[in-house]
Amino acid sequence: MWKSVNLFVILYIAICSSVKIYRYQSEEWWQKANFYQIYIRSFMDWDGDGIGDLKGLIHKVHYLNTLGVDAFCLSPIYMSPMEDFGYDTSDFMDVDPTYGTLHDFNELLTAAKYFDLKVILDLVPNHSSDEHVWFQKSLHRIEPYTNYYVWHDGEIDESGDIIPPNNWEDLYGGGSAWTWREERQQYYLHQFHHKEPDLNYNDPNLVKEIKDVLRFWLRTGIDGFRISSVDSLFEEPFSDVLDYMTAPKKHLPETYDMVKQWRKLLDEYSAETGEKKVLIVEAHGTMDQEMQYYGTPKQPGAHLVLNNKLITDLNNKSLLFHLPQDFTEFKLSKHSYRVECLTLGNQDNHRVASRFGTGLVDAMNMLSLFLPGPSFIYYGEEIGMEDTEITWEQCQDPQGINLGPRYYNEKTRDPERTPFQWDDTMNA
């Protein structure tokens, strides 16, 4: 206990001495909120099928209220074949029956409103499922869907065979980031899973479709969006840069502009309804790259940009050395349109207790709450949940499965996605 408290005091003093804190002229709720991030599949199962659902969450909204959080972020609930557990969307405007119905979602919003909790919905606009009707129509060149995705004829090698246009590999360890489709006689790009074709934001029709998706969910009464993998929206697959690591495929100027367009849409909706809607983005890059997602006062971008330095840079052996140094780099901006936000954990990284040790969980949670700006806590961190050991036979995450039984543990995200421990019984 005292070790935890002492470390917290040391870290807090070190950070505050390296960061000049500015008061915002007029604070909005999201500038100082405590956000609770929920991985819906593992939070609370109501119908007994072993998978968390909306009704389960509805019956636990009161628990969120007791935690003192101001808002919760909900992982993707859209229609999906579940090849990537909801991150492969087959319909952006409906709820997958695994989780419930639109009626259940509306009930959740009502319950959240009763406790004055804001609801933020995760959106993954970089790609869809290959089972989405858009992709099926694009596959057969049915207008206006022909260019909704990134297609390429490929190259001809010395043997006269058609090969992918470059050496890009997908991030899930599945090999080439290009998959050939006989129906269209072209390759499609997938930066993530091969069942998740990248959407083409150079097509104005696609841009309009995604804006319609935003409006659809705003009309349900949600309070904003958390955009995942926003840095991958645009890429230059036809450039001469063949090297995967240096190819221009992240943080392109067009991506910053798209975030500004979405912010404009949310601001216009907020003005019409009198209800503030918030745009949160998750981007993985340098500090300069991440700061650009905020835009400018005249052309604002995201309200919040999630920074993962507390996840990627730190462990229990590097705290005292790296943390003050990280915050010196990550000084709070003078500008009210930039509100820095550091996260301790999420569904893609090992849990706090497993990274820092169970003895430091309370200190890290306290640190997150005391830092200037909003805080984000991943479900289960408040009770010190640890990663669960997963065998190869239990592995479900495609990132792990693609690596096989020998190396699956290097990439699988299953350990940090296990059921919330409501009690000490089997399966909680």
Q: Determine contact, residues 258/266, Cβ cutoff 8 Å.
A: no
Which of 376 and 372 is assigned the larger pLDDT? 376
Residue 148 belongs to a domain: no
Spatial distance between the Cα atoms of 29 and 303, rounded to a whole number of angstroms: 11
Q: Determine contact, residues 163/157, Cβ cutoff 8 Å.
A: yes
Residue 313 belongs to a domain: yes
Kindly give, in sequence order, each residue whose CB lies less than 8 Å from that of residue 151, ignoring residues fewer than 6 positions away: 138, 184, 186, 187, 188, 189
Residue-level pLDDT at 315: 62
What total of structural domains would you count in the chain?
A: 1
Residue-level pLDDT at 311: 78
pLDDT at 93 over 90: yes
Per-residue buried b or exposed e for 279-298, using 16+ beta carbons within 10 Å of the residue's own CB: bbbbbbeeeebbbbbbbeee
Residue 147 belongs to a domain: no
Q: What angle do CA 380, 383, 385 make, to 5 degrees?
A: 55
CATH number, residue 256: 3.20.20.80
pLDDT at 18 over 50: no
Spatial distance between the Cα atoms of 187 and 152, rounded to a whole number of angstroms: 5
- For 197-253, the DSSP string reads PBB-TTSHHHHHHHHHHHHHHHHHT--EEEETTGGGS---TTSS---TTTSS-SS-H
User: What is the widest separation between alpha-carbon atoms in the chain?
Assistant: 69
Q: Determine contact, residues 281/227, Cβ cutoff 8 Å.
A: yes
Q: Determine contact, residues 49/384, Cβ cutoff 8 Å.
A: no
Task: Give the dihedral sign, CA 412/290/248/88.
Answer: positive
Spatial distance between the Cα atoms of 144 and 207, rounded to a whole number of angstroms: 12
Domain with 312 in it: 2-126+204-417
Percent of the chain with pLDDT over 70: 85
Residue-level pLDDT at 19: 47
Spatial distance between the Cα atoms of 241 and 98, rounded to a whole number of angstroms: 42
DSSP state of 167: -
- For 102-153, the DSSP string reads HHHHHHHHHHHHHTT-EEEEEE-TTB--TTSHHHHHHHTT-TTSTTSB-EE-
- Kindly report the average pLDDT of the chain as a whole number: 88
CA-to-CA separations, 373 to 25, 35, 233, 352, 368, in angstroms, rounded: 14, 11, 27, 20, 10
Residue 401 belongs to a domain: yes
Residue 133 belongs to a domain: no
Does the reported pTM lie above 0.75?
yes
Q: What 3-state class would DSSP assign to 23?
A: coil
Residue 301 belongs to a domain: yes
Q: What is the pLDDT of residues 230-279, one digit of tens each?
A: 999 998 766 555 555 455 578 999 999 999 999 999 999 999 999 999 99
Residue 159 belongs to a domain: no
pLDDT at 196 over 70: yes
Residue 151 belongs to a domain: no
